[in-house]
Amino acid sequence: MASMCEATTRVLPGAAVIELSGEVDGSAAAVLTDAYQRAVTPDSDPGTVVLDFSAVDYINSTGIALIVSVLARARAERRKVVACGLSAHYREIFDITRLSDFIELFPDVDHAVSQLTGPAA
Amino acid sequence: MTQVARPKPRRLDKFTLPSQPGNERLALARVAGIVKDLGLSEARLEKLKTAVAEATMNAIEHGNKNRAEIPVEVEVTQNGDEIVVAITDQGGEAHLVPGQPEEPDLLKKLDGDQSPRGWGLFLIRNMVDAMDVTTNGQQHTIWLTMRTGGAAHGEHV
């Protein structure tokens, strides 16, 4: 099945942003795995991975499982995962599944990044 | 004693889909189009859409084993202030596994003690006002009920 999900990665000081678009379902497995690989390299070694869902219009239970797998891998590597850009509906699903106990949620990528990098000195 | 006549259930739509991965999106779009003017809030419409998609995916994968030639049947009915969506596959007993399905536990999943998957029925139960399952040996139906004026689990109105 062709994936309807696309991902681009952006590496910032201390954090890597994975910008997702389209549908996060079973077909997104390779896309998400590849994006994580690109985001987390020995050179970048980010302490935090930001999952940006701003351009995602559909997440199903298999997509939730993929996010769980990303979170499990990041935890094993002692990295933090945060998310941004979720609609109210998917924020509620993150609450129901308890993903939001482990993934801090931000309204958008600017809020997430500014929180991670802190106020300017 | 005065009896108030309850309106008869009204079928709003009935259609079938081939059992192909991804077709749950067609089901949710069609059901959303049918019920959008029946008084559900936007938040509750989103919940119903998620429940319909998950139940249809369950029917395609677990009931009909992704065999495109076996249809999933979707029926939408209005019964008073209730919208009922019935999603039927031909899996019958195929859905029955020994013991109760394990409740998803995120911490167990993160620790590798439980598969990352297994969220479908959990999500459905948390999205709608009622979920019922019937099996007649050959057919397996998930019934999703959403009240047009109510609130689903944990929802603040």
DSSP for A29-93, written as a single string: HHHHHHHHHHHS-TTT--SEEEEEEEEEEEE-HHHHHHHHHHHHHHHHTT-EEEEE---HHHHHH
A27 domain residue, yes or no: yes
Q: How far is A42 from chain B (nearest CA, A)?
A: 23
- Does A121 reside within a domain? no
User: Rounded to whole angstroms, how far apart are CA atoms A48 and B2?
Assistant: 66
Averaged over B34-57, what is the pLDDT? 96
Residue with tokens 């990295």: A79
| Model pLDDT, residue A120 | 46
Residue A71 in domain:
yes
Q: Note the pLDDT tens digit of each residue in A71-103.
A: 999 999 999 999 999 999 999 999 999 999 999
B149 pLDDT higher than 80: no
Digit-coded pLDDT (tens) for B54-106? 999 999 999 999 999 999 999 999 999 999 999 999 987 766 665 556 799 99
| Residue of A92, A101, A102, A103 best to disrupt the B interface, most CBs of B under 10 A | A92
* Residues of chain B positioned with their CB less than 8 A from the CB of A60: 24, 50, 53-54, 57
Superfamily of domain B11-147: Histidine kinase-like ATPase, C-terminal domain (3.30.565.10)
pLDDT of residue B77: 97
B22 vs A75: CB contact, 8 Å cut-off? no
Any chain A CB within 8 A of the CB of B106?
yes
| Residue whose pair of structure tokens reads 């994968």 in the numeric block | B61
Structural domain span for residue A97: 5-108
Domain ranges for chain B, please list them.
11-147
Residue B6's pLDDT band, with cuts at 50, 70 and 90, is low
Task: Please tell me if residue A98 touches chain B, with a CB cutoff of 8 Å.
Answer: yes
Q: CA B131 from chain center: how many Å?
A: 7
Q: How confident is the model over B30-53, as a mean pLDDT?
A: 96
Q: What is the CATH number of the domain that holds A70?
A: 3.30.750.24
Q: How many CB pairs under 8 A join A and B?
A: 64
Whether B150 and chain A come into contact, CB under 8 Å, resolves to no
pTM for this structure? 0.90
Q: What is the mean pLDDT of residues A41-61?
A: 94
A66/B57 Cβ within 8 A: no
Q: Domain for residue A52, yes or no?
A: yes
| Cα nearest neighbour of B104 on chain A | A97
Closest-CA residue of A relative to B56 is A60
Long-range contacts of A98-104 (CB under 8 A, 24+ apart): A98/B106, A99/A64, A99/A67, A99/A68, A99/A71, A99/B106, A101/B106, A102/A71, A102/A75, A102/B106, A102/B110, A103/A51, A103/A67, A103/A71, A104/A80
Residue B122 corresponds to which tokens in the numbers above? 């959990």
Q: Which of residues 4-43 of A touch B (CB under 8 A)?
A: 23, 25-27
Task: Answer whether residue A53 shows pLDDT above 50.
Answer: yes
Total structural domains within chain A? 1
